[in-house]
Amino acid sequence: MQSKSIHGHKKRGMLTNNFLGCPLTNNRSLWCFRICTPNASGNGFCGRVAPHGLKSRIQVCIENYNKRPTLD
């Protein structure tokens, strides 16, 4: 049974279809806790785009520079 507030309204809480939960922390929140390792497409375990998996153009340039063949 759901509890009622003082004014007689039912407290519904957060709807389950509003937010995707983090499977690692079991927390339904709007932000990412940056715990999981994003997959190759940049998505976390929850299926959302992982903000810690995004790379700026400068980071991509640095990675490309470090991947280039070296002259020995």
Could you tell me the residue range of the domain that residue 14 belongs to?
1-72
Asked whether the whole model's pTM tops 0.75, one would answer no
pLDDT band at 64 (very low <50, low <70, confident <90, very high): very high
- CA torsion, points 64, 65, 71, 72, in degrees to nearest 10? -90
Which 8-state DSSP code applies to residue 14?
-
Average pLDDT over residues 24-31: 72
Indicate the number of domains in the chain. Answer: 1
Neighbours of 50 (CB within 10 A): 20
pLDDT band at 57 (very low <50, low <70, confident <90, very high): very high
Which region holds residue 17: left if phi is over 0, alpha if psi is between -120 and 50, else beta?
Answer: alpha
Backbone angles phi and psi of 51, in degrees to 5? -65, -25
Q: Is the pLDDT higher at 50 or at 21?
A: 50
Q: Hey, is 61 helix, strand or coil?
A: helix
pLDDT band at 20 (very low <50, low <70, confident <90, very high): low
Q: Model confidence over 33-49: pLDDT tens digits? A: 788 888 888 888 877 88
